[in-house]
A = this chain, B = another copy of it.
Amino acid sequence: MTSSPSRPRSRRERPAKPALSHEAIVAAAVRVLEAEGLPRVTMRRLAQELDTGPASLYVYVANAAELHAAILEEYLGEVDLSPVTAAGDWRERLAAVLDSCTGVLLRHPALAHAALVARPSGPHYLALVEAVLALLHEGGVPDGQAAWGVDVLLQVATATAAEQSARQGEQAEREQAALTDALRAAPAATYPRIAALGDDLVSGAPEERLSWMFRAVVNGTRTTPRPA
Query: CB within 8 Å of B: which residues of A?
Result: 62-63, 65-66, 69, 113, 116-122, 126-127, 129-130, 133-134, 137, 143-152, 155-156, 158-160, 162-163, 166-167, 171-172, 175-176, 178-179, 181-183, 186, 190-194, 196-197, 200-201, 203-204, 208-209, 211-213, 215-221, 223-224, 226-227
Contacts and interface: CB of A to CB of B under 8 A. Distances in A.
A121 B172 CA distance: 12
Nearest to A155: B159
Nearest to A162: B116
The interface centre, meaning the residue of A127, A134, A167, A212 with most chain B CB atoms within 10 A of its CB, is: A212
27 contacts: A66-B171, A116-B159, A116-B162, A117-B162, A118-B166, A119-B175, A120-B179, A121-B175, A121-B178, A127-B190, A127-B191, A129-B183, A129-B191, A129-B194, A130-B193, A130-B194, A143-B196, A143-B200, A147-B197, A148-B212, A148-B216, A151-B209, A151-B213, A152-B216, A208-B227, A212-B227, A219-B224
Given A119-B179, A147-B200, 10 more contacts: A116-B166, A120-B179, A129-B201, A130-B194, A137-B193, A148-B209, A208-B227, A212-B226, A216-B224, A219-B219
Nearest to A195: B130
Nearest to A215: B224
A192 B155 contact: no
Give 6 nearest A-B pairs by CB, closest first.
A220-B220, A216-B220, A133-B193, A159-B159, A216-B224, A121-B179
Nearest to A159: B159
Contacts of A183: 121, 126, 129
A220 B166 CA distance: 27
Contacts of A179: 119-121
